[in-house]
Amino acid sequence: MKFIYTLLLMFCLTSNVRSEDGQLKFSNFDTWITRSIKESPLVGGNICTLYEIGPNGNFDGARAFTNQGGSPWANSNVFAKMFGVVKTNVSVWPDIHSNGKCAKLFTHIVNCKAIGIVNVSVLATGSVFTGSVIEPITSSSNPMSKINVGIPFTKRPKAIKFDYKYHNPGSNSRIKETGFSKTKVIEGKDMAECVCLLQKRWEDEDGNIHALRIGTMRVRFNRNTNGWVEGKEFPINYGDISKESYYRDWMGMVKGERAYHALNTNGKNVPIQEDGWADANDTPTHLIIKFDSSYGGAYTGTEGNTLWIDNVRFVY
């Protein structure tokens, strides 16, 4: 089962998501797909534009999106359909950088007002990641179960580099706003985050996906930048890093409600069970890259927190 799982995913995806130089496709964020979706009259009936990272084009209508042109990238823009009601959210969109475009990730409050039925607000975080979204979204529970995170990948880069710009609006606290309970204030300044993980995955006979962590890069941005930081390199550290001086608890295994999910061979999106550290010399099977405008997980952050990213590349 382990062999079949790895072989199938690599056959379907690996040849399409990397260019010949080992870099990920569309990682300069210069081309985007637009989606025009009409929301249900019950929630206003607006025509909203969602954005996806891929070749220039359109993918209109209230229908499930699938990655186009071999793009490895997905994001937190949402096409939801709950109880027949169509609603959208836009937390990621293209912006201008230098002579091209970049990705802007924004934390904000999303209001949902259904006439005479419900009036709720939730906090949404801008996120760009390798993988795909399982559309349409049909509930607000367990948000990580709605995304398939990671792509097949067997290289061992020394570092990941990218351009970035970061802005915190000045708040020293965050909020957690789920729409179904009272807004909770959380002490501590919000931060943007970038994660780059190399995993060795396999599937057991019950369809559970397991992984060992081979490579780790996880950084949080807590200071506003003075414009763009260009071509910043972040080393990927291999093997068990838990005893290293730079290690922090949040660099360890991703578990619980924040566990990443992936599709198994039966097409079910299941948690990725990170069982521990791999040998530093192992060859990975999968890559996770994830950028977030707020680091605290679903429905948690500071309204206005913003991260811009561009020109994501590996250093070999």
Report the percent of the chain where pLDDT is more than 70: 92
How confident is the model over 181-196, as a mean pLDDT?
A: 95
Among residues 82, 72, 16, 73, the alpha carbon closest in space to that of 62 is found at 82
Q: Convert the pLDDT of each residue in 68-89 to its tens digit.
A: 999 999 999 999 998 889 999 9
pLDDT(112) > 90? no
Q: Convert the pLDDT of each residue in 264-316 to its tens digit.
A: 999 999 999 999 999 999 999 999 999 999 999 999 999 999 999 999 999 99
Domain count within the chain: 1
Task: Quote the domain boundaries for residue 217.
Answer: 2-315
- DSSP character string of 211-253: EEEEEEEEEEE-S--SS-EEEEEEEPEES--TTSTT--GGGS-
Contact 241, 296 (CB under 8 A): no
pLDDT at 141: 86
Chain CA centroid to CA 286, Å:
15
Which amino acid is it at 174?
R
Map residue 145 onto helix, strand or coil: helix
Cα–Cα distance list, 248 to 33, 168, 197 (Å): 37, 22, 15
Q: What residues contact 152, with CB distance under 8 A and at least 6 apart?
A: 6, 9, 10, 13, 14, 17, 285, 286, 287
Domain with 106 in it: what CATH number? 2.60.120
Q: Phi and psi for 146 in degrees, rounded to 5?
A: -90, -5
Q: How confident is the model at residue 209 (pLDDT cuts 50, 70, 90)?
A: very high
How confident is the model over 190-219, as a mean pLDDT?
A: 98
Kindly give the residue spans of alpha helices, DSSP state H, lying in the chain: 2-9, 15-17
Q: Which two tokens stand for residue 202?
A: 């396999």
Round to whole Å and give the CA distance between 255 and 260: 8
pLDDT at 17: 57
- DSSP character string of 167-184: E--S-SEEEE--SSS--E
Overall pTM surpassing 0.85 (yes/no): yes
Question: Whose structure tokens read 């220039």?
Answer: 56
Contact 212, 199 (CB under 8 A): yes
Q: Phi and psi for 47 in degrees, rounded to 5?
A: -95, 115
Q: Convert the pLDDT of each residue in 24-66 to its tens digit.
A: 999 999 999 999 999 999 998 999 999 999 999 999 999 999 9
pLDDT at 7: 35
pLDDT(152) > 80? yes
Residues in the chain: 316
pLDDT(222) > 70? yes
Cα–Cα distance list, 264 to 148, 169, 205 (Å): 10, 40, 11
Q: How confident is the model at residue 115 (pLDDT cuts 50, 70, 90)?
A: low
Q: Which two tokens stand for residue 147?
A: 């995304």
